[in-house]
Structure 1
Amino acid sequence: MPDGTTIRLFVDDDPVTCETTEVRQFDRALDMRRGVLDRSVVYQLPDGRRFRVDTRRFVSLAHRHMACLRYEVTALDAPGRLMISSELLTPRATADGPALDPRQSRALTEATLEPGLERVDNVRVIRTYRTARSELVVAVGMDHEFDEQAVTHVRTKVDGDRADVAFEAYARPGQTVTLTKWLAYHYGAENAAHLADRAGGDVVPSPRHRLCGRARRPRACGHPVLAAQ
Structure 2
Amino acid sequence: MRGYGRRSDGEVAVDTVRAAFRDECARLGEVLRGLSEADLDRPTDCDPWTVRELLAHVRSGAGRLVDMLAAPAPARAEVDAAGYFGAPKFTPEVDAARIDSGRREARALDGPALVADFDRAWRAADAAVAAAPAGRVVRTRHGDAMSLTEFLRTRVVEVGVHGLDLAAALDREPWLTPGAARVIADLLTGGRPVPPELGWDRLTLIRAATGRADLTDDERAVIDAAGFRWLSFSA
**TM-score when normalising by structure 2:** 0.26
Larger relative contact order, structure 1 or 2 (CA cutoff 8 Å, min sep 6):
2
Highest Rg: 1 or 2? 1
**TM-score when normalising by structure 1:** 0.27
Structure ranking higher in helix proportion = 2
